[in-house]
Each structure stands twice: as C-alpha cells, then as structure tokens.
C-alpha cells in the first residue's frame, strides 16, 4: 500500500521524534526547507533569461533599465528616490555650468549684462560637494532660473552639438519650480531623465509575463 505525501511526512516526523532530540529535529526540518528552496531556485534559474546591456557611456543603458522597471511596475524605493533627487540637483547645476562655460568659449554676448553675477556663482560652485541636500540646491536656483531665461544661454543650448551636454538639462530647467520645492520627490519622468555614471556592474531581476529576466548593466 502506498502512503500519501501527508502520511509519509507524518511517518517521517514520528520516526524523527523516536530517534532524534528536539534540537536535531528542528535542524533537520530547517535543512529540508533550505533544500526545497534550493530546488526552487535551480528551477527558476534554468528558466531565467539573462540580458547583458552593452554600449558606450551615455548610450542609454541605465535609462532603458529604468524604463523597464517603470513599465513593469517595479517601483523605486524611498532610498533610491532620495539618491535620484540629489543626482537631479547635480545634473541641473552641472548642466548650467557647462552652458555658462560654453557661452564664454563661443563668444555669445549676454542679453542682460547683469547675468555675469549669477553665471559667476554657478561657475564657482562644485556640484558634487555643495549640492548635498535641498537647502544647498535652492540657494543656486534663482541663478539657474535667471540664466535659463537669458537668450545667450538659450542660444548656447541650441548649439549644444558643438560641445558635450547631457540631453536632459532642458527638461529639468523647464521643471525647475517643481524640482526646487522643499518637499520635492522625483516622479517617474524625473528618474528617467536623471543622468549619473554607472561605475560598477548593476543587476536587476524582474518577471515579465511570468518569465524571470536578469538585466545586467556593465557600466
């Protein structure tokens, strides 16, 4: 006569109680749970599709991964959003710094000569050091806003093919009022536009149509 799975489990448990101490029974039960999880993992990994994201720097690998997360409902954690918030602050200040420097090199005159002062403030700032929170960022916001309104900076931006500038600065400048609010929390479109160098290998797992995918961004 064959025993059912439940009967066999009860039979094994009774055998354990007759032979092993309570501590040993607990250890063996824990070991069985681990073995069961390992079998599940092996089955999952056999089905897993690994995608290696290759390309030069600034080619959009990280942006693609962020878009995949958003599309398939893998929301960013509070810690991740806090990191993106600082990244966006730095993108804005560094982007305006690049524009001010390019304006000088392209010999484009200011529409308003009084823009020399805010331009000096931006060029003198060190984004990675000074912009560490909302308060330090908001100190520079009036300068960024004034410069973005000047035709000289707009003309410089329109000639961005002549120098290197991240492609998202106009988006951030146009949303400066919202981004500079004291309780600002990045929305999905902000996260997609945020730019930061990937210096290490980044992996992210997600399930798409019940198929497990492993995305690997090699930086």
Residues contributing to the annotated binding site for GTP: 58-63, 167-168
DSSP assignments along the chain, one per residue: -PPPHHHHHHHHHHHHHHHS-HHHHHHHHHHHHHHHHHHHHHHHHHHPEEEEE---TTSSHHHHHHHHHHHTT-PPPHHHHHHHHHHHHHHHHHHHHHHHHHHHHTTPPPSSGGGHHHHHHHHH--HHHH-SSHHHHHHHHHHHHHHHHSHHHHHHHHTGGGS---TTHHHHHHTHHHHTSTT----HHHHHH------S-EEEEEEETTEEEEEEE--
Q: How far is CA 19 from CA 11, 23, 25, 92, 146, in A?
A: 13, 12, 9, 69, 81
Can you say which residues are annotated as belonging to the binding site?
A: 58-63, 167-168, 198
Annotated binding site for Mg(2+): 62, 198
């Amino acid at each position: 006569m064959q025993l059912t799975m439940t009967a066999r489990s009860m039979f094994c448990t009774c055998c354990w109680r007759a032979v092993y101490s309570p501590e040993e029974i607990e250890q063996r039960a824990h070991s069985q749970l681990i073995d069961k999880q390992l079998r599940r993992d092996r089955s999952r990994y056999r089905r897993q599709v690994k995608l290696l994201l290759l390309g030069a720097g600034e080619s959009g690998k990280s942006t693609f991964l962020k878009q995949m997360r958003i599309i398939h409902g893998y929301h960013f954690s509070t810690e991740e959003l806090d990191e993106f918030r600082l990244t966006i602050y730095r993108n804005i200040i560094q982007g305006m710094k690049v524009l001010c420097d390019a304006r000088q090199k392209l010999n484009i005159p200011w529409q308003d000569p009084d823009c020399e002062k805010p331009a000096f403030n931006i060029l003198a700032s060190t984004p990675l050091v000074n912009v560490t929170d909302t308060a330090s960022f908001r100190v520079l916001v009036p300068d960024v806003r004034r410069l973005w309104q000047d035709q000289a900076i707009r003309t410089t931006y329109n000639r961005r093919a002549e120098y290197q500038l991240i492609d998202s600065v106009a988006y951030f400048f146009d949303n400066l009022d919202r981004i500079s609010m004291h309780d600002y929390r990045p929305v999905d479109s902000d996260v997609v536009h945020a730019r930061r160098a990937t210096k290490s290998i980044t992996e992210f797992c997600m399930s798409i149509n019940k198929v497990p995918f492993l995305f690997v961004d090699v930086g």
